[in-house]
Structure 1
């Protein structure tokens, strides 16, 4: 029969000493990190990163409105005219193939006001897509 201390060690799983034993005298090194630009799509080198981020923000707004209204995915699907499995996919971030027009239509169907404003950028670098959600 194992003693209590032995069972405790077994329940704890591998320890740093166990890793040293398994890998010789080496210890694991820390992972390196890089500061984000604020756009994960740009950080990953995805083309049209601003567009992806804007669509992701719009999908997050749709999911937030569905949740704040206490709607099930089935109820939301009837409101926005999308099949329930597609609502599920959308809420999990699968928004490829959806146009802004369609995403904005979902927000309108959920009772939201959508306004698009175009303004002059002060420079080519300042020209970008920006969405604001109230």
Structure 2
């Protein structure tokens, strides 16, 4: 659906999910890794930490912190990223429930005024 036209450029309203808008299919684990990386990046920015400082907190190297903040997550497991959240002092709330679908689904709820 085209909402606007600027000269020869079509402007399309986002669905709110850039990956779906681009036709990229992600599984639940990839979506979770992306959400965790966003939360880690938000905490770094909010606390005005350097990547070097974050690397020291996480007991890793600056290059890995850079990869997380740039969304290069293929070499990271969900477990490892969750441990990074814990090391940064970020609380994690997990809720499990039964589904009537063949496969379970994943949803992440981020507090509106999060960062801390």
1:31 matched to which residue of 2? 10
Q: CA deviation at 1:124?
A: 2.1
Q: CA deviation at 1:46?
A: 2.6
Unaligned runs of 5+ in 2: 1-6, 112-116
Task: Give the TM-score normalised by the residue count of structure 1.
Answer: 0.64
Greater RCO, 1 or 2 (C-alpha within 8 Å, sep 6+): 2
- 1:103 and 2:103 equivalent? no
Unaligned runs of 5+ in 1: 1-27
Contact 1:55 1:95 in 2 (8 A): yes
| Superposed CA RMSD | 2.5
Q: CA deviation at 1:96?
A: 1.6
Q: How many correspondences in the alignment?
A: 105
SS in 2 for 1:88: helix
Aligned counterpart in structure 2 of residue 53 of structure 1, from 13, 20, 31: 31
Task: Give the TM-score normalised by the residue count of structure 2.
Answer: 0.72
SS in 1 for 2:10: coil
Structure number, greater radius of gyration: 1
Contact 2:29 2:78 in 1 (8 A): no
User: Whole-Å Cα distance in 2 between the matches of residues 75 and 30 of structure 1?
Assistant: 42
